[in-house]
Structures are given as C-alpha cells and as structure tokens.
Amino acid sequence: MMGSGEWSIEKRSSFRSDSFSREIDNVPETGCLSIIVLGASGDLAKKKTFPALFNLYRQGFLPAEEVHIFGYARTKISDDELRNRIRGFLVDNKAASSKHSDDVLKFLELIKYVSGSYDTEDGFQKLDKEISEHEISKHSHEGSSRRLFYLALPPSVYPSVCKMIRKCCMNKSDLGGWTRIVVEKPFGRDLESAEKLSAQIGELFDEPQIYRIDHYLGKELVQNLLVLRFANRFFLPLWNRDNIDNVQIVFREDFGTDGRGGYFDEYGIIRDIIQNHLLQVFCLVAMEKPISLKPEHIRDEKVKVLQSVLPIKDEEVVLGQYEGYRDDSTVPDNSNTPTFATMVLRIHNERWEGVPFILKAGKALNSRKAEIRVQFKDVPGDIFKCKKQGRNEFVIRLQPSEAMYMKLTVKQPGLEMSTVQSELDLSYRQRYQGVVIPEAYERLILDTIRGDQQHFVRRDELKAAWEIFTPILHRIDDGEFKPIPYQPGSRGPVEADELLGKSGYVQTHGYIWIPPTL
C-alpha cells in the first residue's frame, strides 16, 4: 500500500489457464435455441432472468440468428406489454450509451409472449406451436434444436408445468438437440415434500436435464472457493481442525421482506437462505478435494460432507423476527416465521470434528453483506502477548465489494517493538480494475445452455440438505421454537452474538477492515 490510501496495482497478465476452463464432456452445440421463461410476469423474471439473458445477448452468447426468447404466464398481456415491463431492468452502467439502448431494442425484439395456464394443455400447445414456428424460421432440422425452460414460478406449480412441458413442448426427437428445465429454490418445504417433488419431476425428466439453480453458486467468489482451497499450497495444510477454530458463513440484508411478505412467511429465513445459499457455500468450504473438476466429482464430495453433518442442537440455534415484520398485510398477525437465524453445524469427520460452522442469515439488519470468516486458533506459546488484539482471520467477502483479506498480526511500524492487527488484502475493484464481474444468473444460465451442471444442485445433494434442517423446521412450524424479536437496523438478537462467543469466536477489538478506495 502506498501513502494516503493509494493502492499500487501490479499490472500482470492474466493467469487464467485454458486447461481449467471446462472439464466437461459436452461438446458445444450450435443450432436454434429457444429460451422459455415460465412465470414471465413475475418478480424474478423481470429483475433477474431477463436482465441476465440481456447481458448474455449483449456479450454475443445469444446470437440473434439462433435464439428466440418466450415469456409464458397466465397474465393476459401482449408481447409489447411484457417488453415494457422488463425494459427498465435492462439497464446497467453502460445505460447512457446509444449502443446500449440499441442492444436493448434488438434484444426486446427477440421476445415473444404466450399466455396460458400452468395445468392445461391448450396454453402449452400454443407455446409449442410458437417455438416450432421459430425453429422452422431458423431452418433448424427437427430434433436438432435446443429448448431451455426456465421455471421462474412458485414450486407449487412445478409438477403440473413439468407434466405439460413433457406432454406438449419437448424437442421432437434426439438428433443432437435437447430439452432442459431450470427450477428455482426453495425446492420443497422439507425432506418429504422435496423428495416428492424430485420424484414427480424425475418421472418426467432425467437428472442431466434438470438444473436446480442456486444463484449463490454463480457468484464470483463462491466460484473461486475451489481454486482458492485446492490450488494454493498456503491453505492445504491449514484447512482443518488443527488450525481453524471456527468458521462463520454470514448473510445480512439491510431491508425487510419488501412486498414479498406473503411468500416469505410461508418459508422463513432458513428455507429462503440457509438451507440453500449458505449451505452451498458451506459445502465448498468444508468438502474434501474432488478427484477432478467434473460436475459429478464435485457434487459427490458435496454430498459426502452434507451427510457428515450432525443433528443440530437446540442450544446452538437462535431465531429472530424483526419488529414490524407482521405489519405487512400478507403476513399473519401471529406469524412464528423467523426472519433471522444463527445456527451451528458440526461435521463428524477427520478434518472438522469439533469445529463449529456458524451459519447466520437475517433480514432488516444493520448492513448488507455476505461473507465467509475463517478464524484460526491462537498461536501457541505467544511471546508477543498479542492474543488480545485478535486472531488470524481469513475473510472472503462475497458481496458487496468482492474481496478476500487476511487479518494478521504485524509489528507496528516505528521504533517500538509492539504488535498491531493489519491485513493482506485482495480487493477485486482495485486488483481487477475494468473487469466486469458477471451477475450470478448470467453465468448460471450460460452453464445450462452449455450443459454444465457443476454449479447446480443434484437430487441427492438436495435430499442431504433437507435432512439437516427438516427436524428444526418442523419444530418451528409447530410453534415449538419461537423467534426472538429484534429491532430493524440492529445486529439481530443479542443471543446470536452470545452463541457466537460460546462457539469460540473471538472478536478483534479496535480493528475494522475498511475496503480501500481507488
């Protein structure tokens, strides 16, 4: 670091190696591609799915000669009405340029809307007809076209929608083309319902056709976890119970349920964030090294670590509900749904026995961030008496301002021999200036087109995930476990910080990492 907060950035060539790029067996396909967004009138479609498709289009991944996009939902609107609904979400930092608005117009022209129900054939037959007409117009040979169905819908309609796709909209024969479906989380409400849903969908589609999306797996720093852990000698010998005292995986939002109270109240923070997003991050932090980067090898390791998680203990759970949550008219006055949870997962294996993994997620807190915090044990026989300043911590900031930094003890610069906490800092905005980090959905949708399931959740992985949380979820649903009220804009219930302390986390006093500015 240079004086007055300036950072010196070494300009080095990229170290990206082609051999890392894709270790999958799929050969890239070309030919007519239809992307069908079901639930096109909804929140996710407008905020995430269409903007991600637009970004892929803008970067040349969805060439207009090959691609057509269909929106499908019950709402009766025209093509133009759908286009107008999503137009405002297709802006980014390049919005000012006329090239960008030109791209927006051309992209919107690719979109067609079909209205129909989710459980009767006529709407899906109409959809199939539209897709087929598009395929014919692109001179696609029957069977060689690709059809990607993105279910931006509540899981309750997945079975009927999948049945209709299977019955009316499949790629006609297998001549190099495919039909794939993308399903959103939460996939089920508990072990039983998720297994039922998996069985229903499994009867209609083979596992390689099903992409269970968890958008945290598309975040840059989540994708970096395997590289970090297994491509760096630094970490290999330290990543275990001998050196690591505790691990925190934290998600905080500084806003409440914001108009999604009806949806949220049915699920709660554990089903909304912890059982999927945080647990996926947990897998990547805790799993053993896969034998290769093939999706099945990675997912095998994730399943193993999930199956090694011990039952969650009551005394290692703190639930909260922010004050004012029930003011939402769509939330029942007596709702027992947690908007905050801290819970400790313990892994029964050789690497992690005794190390608490503290998963914390909350809405309406004092900040918005997601991070992984790996705290190391104290140095034995400390001759500098610096324990009180803090322990070594390795922090991976997933968002905002992607970064990883290592908190460590150094000599305080100057004549005295005293110690101080400092950091080794890799802040992406400084180190990778000018590099645009893709949105998670953008990356994952591209994977579905390429047939790469590495960053998607496999059926047995999902089952293992629900096995961990179902007992506690049932007790919350039955009102046996009550959330503690907390002030919006706070850190959540104080009991959660107490649990953190009991689990072994030692706060560094008088030190806070300030992201460097350019």
Ligand X SMILES: NC(=O)C1=CN([C@@H]2O[C@H](COP(=O)(O)OP(=O)(O)OC[C@H]3O[C@@H](n4cnc5c(N)ncnc54)[C@H](OP(=O)(O)O)[C@@H]3O)[C@@H](O)[C@H]2O)C=CC1
| Interface residues toward ligand LXAUTJHC, by CB under 6 A | 215, 253, 272, 370
Q: Is the Cβ of residue 245 or residue 272 nearer to ligand LXAUTJHC in the bound state?
A: 272
Q: Are 31 and 131 in contact (CB under 8 A)?
A: no
| Options 68, 134, 277, 455, the catalytic residue | 277
Cα separation, 223 vs 313, in Å, equals 30
Chain positions 58 to 77 lying near ligand X, rule: CB under 6 A, are: 73-75
Question: Residue from 62, 82, 153, 210 that binds ligand X (CB under 6 A)?
Answer: 153
Q: Is the Cβ of residue 42 or residue 202 nearer to ligand X in the bound state?
A: 42
The Cβ of residue 57 has, within 10 Å, a number of other Cβ atoms equal to 20
Residue 39 is a binding residue for ligand X (CB under 6 A): yes
Size of the site for ligand X (CB under 6 A): 20
The end-to-end CA distance of the chain, in Å, is 12
Residue 86 is a binding residue for ligand X (CB under 6 A): no
- Minimum distance, C-beta of residue 272 to ligand LXAUTJHC, in the bound complex (Å): 5
Question: Residue from 22, 24, 42, 202 that binds ligand X (CB under 6 A)?
Answer: 42
- Minimum distance, C-beta of residue 22 to ligand X, in the bound complex (Å): 26
Q: Are 185 and 152 in contact (CB under 8 A)?
A: no
Which of ligand LXAUTJHC, ligand X, none does residue 154 bind to, with CB < 5 to 8 Å depending on kind?
Answer: ligand X
> What pairing do the DSSP bridges indicate for beta strands 419-427 and 356-362?
unpaired
Q: Are 147 and 171 in contact (CB under 8 A)?
A: yes
Longest alpha-carbon distance in the chain: 82
Q: Are 418 and 412 in contact (CB under 8 A)?
A: yes
Question: Residue from 184, 190, 253, 328 that binds ligand X (CB under 6 A)?
Answer: 184
Question: Residue from 51, 71, 155, 451 that binds ligand X (CB under 6 A)?
Answer: 155
Q: Is the Cβ of residue 155 or residue 290 nearer to ligand X in the bound state?
A: 155
Q: Is 455 a catalytic residue?
A: no
Which of ligand X, ligand LXAUTJHC, none does residue 146 bind to, with CB < 5 to 8 Å depending on kind?
Answer: none
- Minimum distance, C-beta of residue 330 to ligand LXAUTJHC, in the bound complex (Å): 15
Q: Which residues contact 444 (CB under 8 A, 6 or more apart)?
A: 211, 213, 215, 217, 218, 455, 456
Instruction: State the binding string over 108-147 for ligand X (x if CB under 6 A, else -).
Output: ----------x-----------------------------
Question: Residue from 31, 101, 132, 154 that binds ligand X (CB under 6 A)?
Answer: 154
Cα separation, 81 vs 78, in Å, equals 5
C-alpha torsion 357→374→387→343, nearest 10: -20
Q: Is the Cβ of residue 114 or residue 365 nearer to ligand X in the bound state?
A: 114
Residue 43 is a binding residue for ligand X (CB under 6 A): yes
Q: Are 271 and 194 in contact (CB under 8 A)?
A: no
Q: 3-state DSSP: the chain helix, strand, coil percent, rounded to 5?
A: 40, 20, 45
Distances (CA, A) of 187 to 63, 104, 130: 32, 32, 29
Instruction: State the binding string over 258-287 for ligand X (x if CB under 6 A, else -).
Output: -----x------------------------
Which of ligand LXAUTJHC, ligand X, none does residue 184 bind to, with CB < 5 to 8 Å depending on kind?
Answer: ligand X
| Amino acid type, 67 | V
Cα separation, 440 vs 185, in Å, equals 14
Residue 492 is a binding residue for ligand X (CB under 6 A): no
Which of ligand X, ligand LXAUTJHC, none does residue 118 bind to, with CB < 5 to 8 Å depending on kind?
Answer: ligand X
What stretches of 28-148 show up as alpha helix (H) in DSSP?
43-44, 50-58, 79-87, 98-109, 121-137
Q: Which residue is nearest to ligand X (CB)?
A: 42
Chain residues in the site for ligand X (CB under 6 A): 39, 41-45, 73-75, 118, 152-157, 184-186, 263
Active site residues: 277
